[in-house]
Structure 1
Amino acid sequence: MDLYLGFVILEGLLALAVVATNLLVCAALCLHRELRSVTNCLVACLALADLGVGALAIPFSIVLSLELTLCFYTCLFLACFPLVTTQFSILLLLLIALNAHLKIRLPSSYAMYVRRGRVLGAVGLCWLLSLLIGLSPMMGWNRQGRYMEQNWNRTLAVSYAAERAAVVLIARDQPYGGFLSKVYPGTRGAPPYSHLHDEHLGRCSFTSVFAPEYLVYFVFFACTLLPLGALLGIYADLFRLVRGHFLAQPLRAAKRGELPMARTLLLLLGIFCFCWIPLHVIYCVRLLCPRCRSYAALDRLAVLLSHLNSLANPLVYAMRKKDFGRTLRSVCLRYVPCCSRAKVHPQGQSGRR
């Protein structure tokens, strides 16, 4: 119980921090037009996805960890939503890497290829693909049969226990009517099987609604490792290209300015792998080694680590990109009450001196 309480408290604090930092990123881009480059707008879309993680996915994760009795499709939607935001983050990182690659490889024709309408269309396509991938269990690739079977077995066990208790009570109160009470328990007031119509109810958790093959072969291998491999290939070619320019001729100012940005995006990719790979490894072990022992503390730590990625993205981007970091600090000092009071107090003290 203490472990679960600590998990809920950490998840709640993490959700507040994720919402606050990503709202700050979105506010900085809305208030300062000079930051509205294509890359920064894509990072703002990434912040919106992380905002969804803090506002919805983390509360959904807390509900799933409670293992409440819920309708199957309600439980399935709660479990599918984090997959949508995660897949969108992967596809958006791929789109940001392609943008950086075009900016360095084709600086003269970059504006001709990358336009506002095309970027918005690409972001919309990323959302569409993310919805199709994340919500595919709601179209049939799920464990509804087993979910209902577990509910049926549990309901039968509860009904049988209640029936036996009623029979014992009737036999004790009416010792000469015990035979009829056993044959017709419903006529003596014992609870019948009337609640078996709630067949879609069951114990809701993340693994109770998803097939392990879906989580491992489709989500991890096909939809996570393949885009991550493409990202690593893009960055390898990008840094090879930059190294070739360094050796052949002095790097242009535009390309030299994009190099730190490419390093920042590569760092974001590394943090994504660090935060999400452990959870996928746990699912792989459960599928390939079903007899292996599972640890609740390790599972919850992996879930916390995956949610921590949504907090790390804006922090890394603010620390690595100086102009963006200065803008975030100015927005924070101007619009966040506690920060603005901290700024005013030292000035007031120095004025009184």
Structure 2
Amino acid sequence: IDSLWVVYTVLEVLIAVACCLGNVLVVCAVCVGIRDSLREPTFCFLVSLAVADFLVGVAAVPLAVVLDGWVSLTPDLCLLLSCVVLVLTQASVLSLLAIAVDRYLRLHIPLRYKALATQRRTWLAVSLCWILSCLLGFTPLFGWNNYSSLTSDSTNTSSSSFISPPCTFLSVISLPFMVYFNFLGCVMAPLLVMTLLYVRIFWSLQGRLKESCPQAQASLLRERRLACSLALVLILFASCWIPLHLMNCLLMLSKITILTRSYFPGILLSHANSAINPVVYAYRIPKIQQAYSQIWRRFLLRLNCCHGDKHVERSITSNRATHTETRGSGGKTTP
């Protein structure tokens, strides 16, 4: 086994564990630690993003290892598993877009915002994000793929007995699809829209801070801090995912065969983004930071209680044993 592949696999496992633990903590912090948080659209969309990041650790990372040519699968199954990775990426993009739209509406139509952003409409928007993610991510299943060339190659090489070829992502997913549809249409277009929205948000906040009275500035400063935190999540997403897409562009335009190993840094960086987000929430969003502290306090308190109960149980057991021995020895010495 290639030593580089072993290092890559170990790093993927560590990233997967970090994704799962960190994002479960985010969901618990929002749903349990912050009172009435699910009534606020921003936190609902953060939960959606955390669920997508959690599924990256559960599904996308193991699939990335499987879709590396080490497992022989039928072309149908290989294509389906590859599309799952695309769905999770798209869910992250659309959750980030929903967060940006929510902050923009909250700032620019504050009077209508509460009537517009009801809890029912918020969860409807979350559902719409995931439905669109499935439609966009599973697009290769409807024909834009390398399935025909892959099956023809496999039948040519094995005319007598069909042998499933090694499953790799780019063996079933078309490069023009990844560049023109997925990168430019499904990733870059939403990122540009989000960038414009955050520019408008910061521009508006800066103007209001100059014109507002000291009493209103505290609320605006909190709004700006939250907007900065969410914009940082967006910047990190773009920084972690764009290098991998640029490698696809280079591969398609230059027609140079790139070894799978050269994709390892880009794949690791894209998956690491899902593990970074919980850390950003902890350091940048005060409500989630406080919820983290509460969860850890409860966890440590329960550990101490369990440890204390075991200690008390052990002491009671030892006292009973000592008392029994004393009675037994006393019975022997009595005439």
Under TM normalisation by the shorter chain, which class is it?
A: 0.7 to 0.9
Distance 1:321 1:133, change over 3 A: same
Amino acid in structure 2 at the alignment position of 1:262: A
CA displacement at 1:7 relative to structure 2? 0.7
Match of 1:120 in 2: 123
Distance in 1, matches of 2:6 and 2:102, equals 43
Distance 1:240 1:33, change over 3 A: closer
Distance in 2, matches of 1:336 and 1:310, equals 26
Distance in 1, matches of 2:296 and 2:177, equals 42
CA displacement at 1:215 relative to structure 2? 0.3
Aligned residues: percent identity? Answer: 32
- Write the mapping of 1:166-205 to structure 2, written as runs, cut at 5 A: 193=160, 195-196=161-162, 201-205=164-168
CA displacement at 1:296 relative to structure 2? 3.9
Higher mean Cα deviation, 207-216 or 310-319?
Answer: 310-319
For 1:128-187, what per-residue CA distance to the aligned partner results, in whole angstroms no more than 9, with x for missing partners? 11001100111111111111122124325xxxxxxxxxxxxxxxxxxxxxxxxxxxxxxx
Residue 129 (structure 1) aligned with residue 129 (structure 2): no
Match of 2:158 in 1: 155
Match of 1:317 in 2: 281
Residue 80 (structure 1) aligned with residue 83 (structure 2): yes
Residue 231 (structure 1) aligned with residue 234 (structure 2): no
Distance 1:336 1:145, change over 3 A: farther
Asked if structure 1 preserves the Cα contact closer than 8 Å seen for 2:75 and 2:172, the reply is yes
SS of structure 2 residue aligned to 1:236:
helix
Distance in 1, matches of 2:69 and 2:303, equals 39
Residue 303 (structure 1) aligned with residue 267 (structure 2): yes
Asked if structure 1 preserves the Cα contact closer than 8 Å seen for 2:90 and 2:133, the reply is yes
Match of 2:102 in 1: 99
CA displacement at 1:116 relative to structure 2? 0.8
TM-score (norm 1): 0.81
Match of 2:332 in 1: none
Structure 1 unaligned residues grouped into runs of 5+: 157-192, 349-353
Match of 1:49 in 2: 52
* Pairing partner for 1:144 from 140, 144, 147: 147
Asked if structure 1 preserves the Cα contact closer than 8 Å seen for 2:69 and 2:166, the reply is no
Match of 2:295 in 1: 331
For 1:94-137, what per-residue CA distance to the aligned partner results, in whole angstroms no more than 9, with x for missing partners? 11011111112222322011111111111111111100110011
Aligned length in residues:
304
Asked if structure 1 preserves the Cα contact closer than 8 Å seen for 2:68 and 2:260, the reply is no
Residue 214 (structure 1) aligned with residue 177 (structure 2): yes
Residue 11 (structure 1) aligned with residue 5 (structure 2): no
SS of structure 1 residue aligned to 2:133:
helix
CA displacement at 1:324 relative to structure 2? 1.1
Distance 1:45 1:232, change over 3 A: same
Structure 2 unaligned residues grouped into runs of 5+: 312-335
Match of 1:90 in 2: 93
Distance in 1, matches of 2:169 and 2:260, equals 13
Asked if structure 2 preserves the Cα contact closer than 8 Å seen for 1:148 and 1:202, the reply is no
Match of 1:163 in 2: none
